[in-house]
Amino acid sequence: MTHDHLELAEQYQKELVAEGLLVQTGVMGVYGRSGVFEEALEAFDQFVRKQGQALHPEVMRFSPVIGRANYLKTTHIESFPNLIGSVHSFYGKEKDHLEMLRKIQDLEEWTDDLDPTDLMLTPAICYPLYPTVRDTVLNENGRTFDLMGFAFRHEPSVDPARMQTFRMHEFVRMGTPEQALGHRDFWLKKAEEIYQTLGINAKPALANDPFFGRGGRAMVVSQREQELKYELVVPITSEEKPTAIASSNYHLDHFSQPFNIRLANGEVAHTACFGFGLERTTLAMFKKFGFDVKAWPSETKSVLGL
């Protein structure tokens, strides 16, 4: 992020906080949301869900945590070690507890007294889904899912569009390569139409994930060459560096392989997902239409039922 973009992002954050839409918590990138913010976010979420109903998806909602064993079946820790969140807790006895409290009192490091649980924070909304479909043989129609929930990524920032905890509404497809790609293409077009209906001019752009380290650079090239990831972008804090408010990912067999999700012919299934960033879309609406929802365009309010 350039210095100018950082300044613009911080300015928008301060405006949102001053309006009471976002509430500072003392941790960078972690906010409370006001009732006005949530009303706009939930209205968009319901609108998106209705748009997906024609696909007759299986609706599932998961906790914002995933089992550590299932998490380690993915390659997330190889690709994004800097973004992970691990859940730890206290397993000691009373004397260990007293010693830990002493360390806290004396401002010493106390987290070494915690040990890992069986849980990781969910890095993407679809991650908890794949283990629930393990060892499944899909029929010729494949399966489609409607998911919504919180994700966590450890990337503290003053940019309000780069929160550490945020919600996505995702539609996931499992099936043949053609079905997965068709799902990706359908939602890229559909999402652009959804945003146009709201009055948000979001445009698709070829993208890549922020893979970590030297090996990650090769993965970026491969992902872009295969056109596996697209984003819908819109200016929120910067015209020059627009923000992704939705994204599509064609996973190939990346998730089906470790969880043994197969087609009727025995081949490993392919998967694709399309996710709407709920906080980011809400931030884009406040940026475009202003902080007073009552003054938003009547067409936008009508679409959202506000």
Model confidence at 158, in pLDDT bands (50, 70, 90)? very high
The arithmetic mean of pLDDT across residues 217-223, rounded, is: 62
Q: Residues 6-28: what's their mean pLDDT?
A: 94
Stretch 47-53: mean pLDDT:
96
Tell me the mean pLDDT in the region 185-213: 87
Query: What is the per-residue pLDDT across 272-296, written as a single tens digit (0 to 9) for each?
Result: 999 999 999 999 999 999 999 999 9
Whether pLDDT at 177 is above 70: yes
- The average confidence (pLDDT) of the chain is 92
Residues in CB range of 164: below 8 A, 6 or more apart:
27, 28, 29, 30, 152, 153, 154, 155, 156
pLDDT at site 212: 59
Alpha carbon distance 164, 5 (integer Å):
19
Say what the pLDDT of residue 34 is: 97
Confidence of residue 3 (pLDDT cuts 50, 70, 90): low
225-235 residue pLDDT tens: 676 788 899 98
pLDDT bin (cut points 50, 70, 90) of residue 205 is: confident
The CA angle 226-228-233, to the nearest 5 degrees, is 125
Average pLDDT over residues 143-164: 96
In one letter, which amino acid is 284?
A: A
SS3 content of the chain, % helix, strand, coil (to 5): 40, 25, 35
Q: Determine the pLDDT at residue 216.
A: 62
Distance, first Cα to last Cα, the chain: 34
Inter-residue contact 151 to 273 (CB < 8 Å): no
Share of the chain above pLDDT 70, in %: 92
CA atoms of 54 and 75, how far apart (whole Å): 33
Would the pLDDT of 218 be above 90?
A: no
pLDDT given for residue 204 in this prediction: 86
How high is the pLDDT of residue 209?
Answer: 61
Q: What is the pLDDT of residues 235-257, one digit of tens each?
A: 888 778 889 999 999 999 999 99
Confidence (pLDDT) at 140: 95
Give the per-residue pLDDT at 206: 84
**CA dist., res. 59 & res. 90, Å (int):** 35
Task: Note the pLDDT tens digit of each residue in 55-92.
Answer: 999 999 999 999 999 999 998 998 889 999 999 999 99
Tokens of 106: 């004396």
Residue 213's pLDDT band, with cuts at 50, 70 and 90, is low
Is the model's pLDDT at 162 over the cut of 70?
A: yes
pLDDT at 219: 63
- Which domains are seen in the chain, by residue range? 3-85+123-304 (3.30.930.10), 88-118 (no CATH)
Mean pLDDT calculated for residue range 128-150? 97
Over the stretch 97-108, which tens digit does the pLDDT of each residue have? 999 999 999 999
